[in-house]
DNA sequence: TTCATCTATTGACAAATTGCACATAGTGTG
DNA sequence: CACACTATGTGCAATTTGTCAATAGATGAA
């Protein structure tokens, strides 16, 4: 079953683990430089986050602003559209990003442990379960 | 608003990414041999899943049974308690586990990419954002 | 016996999260 | 004006997760 092993719970769009990537990815992008939501939406593809509904990004940014990780101001420059809100990362955001990185490291270690356990079991049992 | 936005990013208990680990971890444990819920609850510590509320495991097992990944029967053996339900992995469960492993590999790659991007940016910018 | 305690499973509901459909709004084009 | 494109935001239903409490058998102590 491609994309959904099962019937009851097909993840629409990206998988949940992917979405958990959203906050750290946004923080990293903003650490590279201030940007507005629509741009971030496109840049997120770099981290495998494609086809996200814009509202997801805007909500994430607003939530991060509530937590003090980013700040926003209205863009002065003239654009081909309505005024844009420009986000910048804060010092607290830097800390949060560093925390996320640590957290992701732990997750990676856990995955590595899991994989090792899986492969070892597969070798021993020749792929058969008892 | 049902889901308040004031939350810190400290999840109670395990992080959500951890919990996403539950299904693959249960499948791997069951691939090693049939078991009942209460035992699995203890064995999950191996994969960093500690202090889980039992109902979480039982619900996960029931959901997996709905998907055909596992089957269960009542244990014949006498125990120090009420009858126990014993779970075994199915062929579909083997496939699901293999899928999970692939999925976890992808996630790990993504994390590695993210980390590399983070470190590279930090080196270049000497830890300062512009 | 009655009570507490441990093992074991389950049900119900609240809380948190996510997806999606739609609303709003400025700008340029024919 | 009608339309398309850029850009942000709101509201709500659906899904997922966390927590609490109910049930229930076995065992041992008072």
Helix (H, G, I), strand (E, B) or coil at A73: strand
pTM assigned to the model: 0.84
State how far the Cα of A112 lies from the Cα of A81, in Å rounded to an integer: 47
- Cβ–Cβ contact A58 with B under 8 A: no
pLDDT of res. A49: 86
The pLDDT value given to residue A60: 94
**DSSP secondary structure letter of residue A12:** P
For the stretch B28-77, pLDDT in tens is 999 999 999 999 999 998 998 888 899 999 999 999 999 999 999 998 87
pLDDT of residue A80: 76
DSSP sequence for B45-107: GGGT--S--HHHHHHHHHHHHHTTSEEEEE--S--SSS--EEEEE-HHHHHHHHHHHHHHHHH
Structure tokens at A45: 């593809």
Q: Per the CB < 8 Å rule, is A103 touching B25?
A: no
What's the pLDDT at B75? 85
Q: Does domain A16-125 have CATH number 1.10.10.10?
A: yes
pLDDT at res. B88: 96
Q: β-strand B85-89 against B35-36: which pairing, if any?
A: antiparallel
A82 vs B96: which has the higher pLDDT: B96
Q: CA B24: distance to chain centroid?
A: 5
Q: What is d(CA A44, CA A54) in angstroms, rounded to the nearest whole number?
A: 11
Q: Is the pLDDT of residue A115 over 90?
A: yes
* Per-residue pLDDT at A2 exceeds 80: no
d(CA B94, CA A96): 38
Q: Does residue A55 surpass a pLDDT of 60?
A: yes
Residues with CB under 7 A from strand D: A 8-9, 11, 16, 36-39, 54-55, 58-59, 61-62, 75, 79-86; B 2, 11-14, 16, 19-20, 53-56, 59, 78-83
A82-87: list long-range contacts, CB under 8 Å, 24+ apart. A84/A36, A84/A37, A84/A38, A85/A36, A85/A37, A86/A34, A86/A35, A86/A36, A87/A30, A87/A34, A87/A35, A87/A36, A87/A37, A87/A40, A87/A61
Q: Which two tokens stand for residue B89?
A: 């992995």
Q: Which residue has the closest alpha carbon to D14 C1'?
A: A9
pLDDT tens-digit series, residues B10-24: 344 445 555 578 999
CA-based nearest residue in chain B for residue A115: B101
Point out the least confidently predicted range of A19-23, A49-53, B15-19. Answer: B15-19
> Between residues 27 and 46 of chain A, which touch chain B (CB distance below 8 Å)?
28, 30-33, 46
Q: How far is residue B54's CA from residue B84's CA, in Å, rounded to a whole number?
A: 14
B73 contacts: CB under 8 Å, gap ≥ 6: B85, B86
pLDDT band at B7, cuts 50/70/90?
A: very low
d(CA B42, CA B22): 13
Contact B25 A114 (CB under 8 A): yes
How many other β-carbons are positioned within 10 Å of the β-carbon of residue B10?
Answer: 6
Percent of chain B with pLDDT over 90: 55
Distances (CA, A) of B108 to A75, A90, B27, B99: 37, 28, 19, 14
Vertex B112: Cα angle to A97 and A114 (nearest 5): 105
Residue B3 has a pLDDT of 28
pLDDT of residue A11 exceeding 80, the answer is: no
Q: Where are the alpha helices (DSSP H) in chain A?
A: 16-19, 22-32, 37-43, 54-66, 91-125
B80 touches strand C (CB under 7 A): yes
Q: What is the pLDDT of residue A5?
A: 28
């Amino acid at each position: 079953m491609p994309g959904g092993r099962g019937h009851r719970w097909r993840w629409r769009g990206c998988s949940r683990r992917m979405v958990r990537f959203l906050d750290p990815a946004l923080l990293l992008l903003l650490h590279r430089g201030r940007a507005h939501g629509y741009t971030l939406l496109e840049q997120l593809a770099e981290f495998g986050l494609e086809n996200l509904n814009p509202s997801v990004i805007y909500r994430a940014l607003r939530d991060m602003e509530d937590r003090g990780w980013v700040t926003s101001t209205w863009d002065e420059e003239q654009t081909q559209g309505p005024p844009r809100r420009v986000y910048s990362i804060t010092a607290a955001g830097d800390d949060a990003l560093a925390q996320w990185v640590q957290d992701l490291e732990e997750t990676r270690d856990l995955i590595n442990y899991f994989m090792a356990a899986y492969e070892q079991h597969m070798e021993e049992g020749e792929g058969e379960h008892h």
